[in-house]
Homo-oligomer: A and B are copies of this chain.
């Protein structure tokens, strides 16, 4: 009877953790769909996307809250140790990171109406490219977190530099458009913020990859990564 009771507890703990992972999976799938739709909205002017993006942001906020509740309950009832404890705590962190991806896509979506004024739309290529990159990073980071896979996690982290460089280059290009044709100023500033939102989604993918590494090993990825945004330091010298 003791055995059967223990077996029951073990199953139930694993079930709890699986449920938690399933919720992270759901949030991850939403984050990727949100980012993809944001690119469609911005690049292909598909304004019908905007409402859907804002609705799903609310769903992501709700899922983040549920993960929080579930983690506190799981810690209280199961008191997991070592690897299990680390898995639970990193799930809490990753849910917060995915919720932020939802925020960034919603912020970008709200700017879409301001972009319709801009014809022709000049930076379709770089925006699509940034979108593809960050979607690939999110996908791999989530996969690295799920298995976990430390090699894949390191690769995601390295790709963030490419996103930062694309953002810096897009920022400079948009400054040039604004100076050449002041009528594009409003649309271009909104595009700068869209680009910044995509760059921040890349940062979150990197954070998730670092959480994957921590979940797997209990240690942090070593080496300072260049955080954020070369555009914040480089343009003035080049464009002033």
Contact B75 A89 (CB under 8 A): yes
Contact B240 A117 (CB under 8 A): yes
Query: What does DSSP make chain A's interface, helix, strand, loop or mixed?
Result: helix
| Residue A86 at the chain B interface, CB threshold 8 Å | yes
Contact B182 A175 (CB under 8 A): no
Contact A76 B65 (CB under 8 A): no
Note all chain B residues with C-beta closer than 8 A to A12. Answer: none
Query: In the complex, A92→B92 CA distance in Å?
Result: 10
Contact A236 B89 (CB under 8 A): no
Contact B107 A89 (CB under 8 A): no
| Residue A220 at the chain B interface, CB threshold 8 Å | yes
Q: CB within 8 A of A76: which of B85, B114, B193, B228?
A: B85
Q: A76-B81, A76-B82, A178-B178 are in contact. Are A240 and B107 (CB under 8 A)?
A: no
| Residue A227 at the chain B interface, CB threshold 8 Å | yes
Residue from A68, A93, A193, A237 having most chain B Cβ neighbours under 10 A: A193
Nearest B residue (CB) for A71: B89
**Which stretch of A19-27, A37-45, A140-148, A184-192 is in the interface?**
A184-192
Contact B186 A189 (CB under 8 A): no
Query: In the complex, A179→B179 CA distance in Å?
Result: 9
Contact A114 B240 (CB under 8 A): yes
| Residue A229 at the chain B interface, CB threshold 8 Å | yes
Contact A85 B72 (CB under 8 A): yes
Query: In the complex, A208→B58 CA distance in Å?
Result: 20
Contact B75 A85 (CB under 8 A): yes
Contact B229 A107 (CB under 8 A): yes
| Residue A239 at the chain B interface, CB threshold 8 Å | yes
Note all chain B residues with C-beta closer than 8 A to A103. Answer: 227-228
Chain A residues 29 to 84 lying within 8 A of chain B, measured CB to CB, are 65, 68, 71-72, 75-76, 79, 81-82
Note all chain B residues with C-beta closer than 8 A to A229. Answer: 107, 110
Contact B186 A240 (CB under 8 A): yes
Note all chain B residues with C-beta closer than 8 A to A68. Answer: 89, 93
A89-B92, A107-B232, A179-B185 given; 9 more Cβ-contact pairs under 8 Å: A65-B220, A68-B93, A72-B86, A72-B89, A79-B79, A110-B232, A111-B232, A178-B178, A182-B182
Please name 6 pairs of A and B residues whose Cβ atoms are closer than 8 Å in the assembled complex, sorted by A: A75-B75, A75-B85, A92-B92, A107-B228, A186-B236, A193-B232
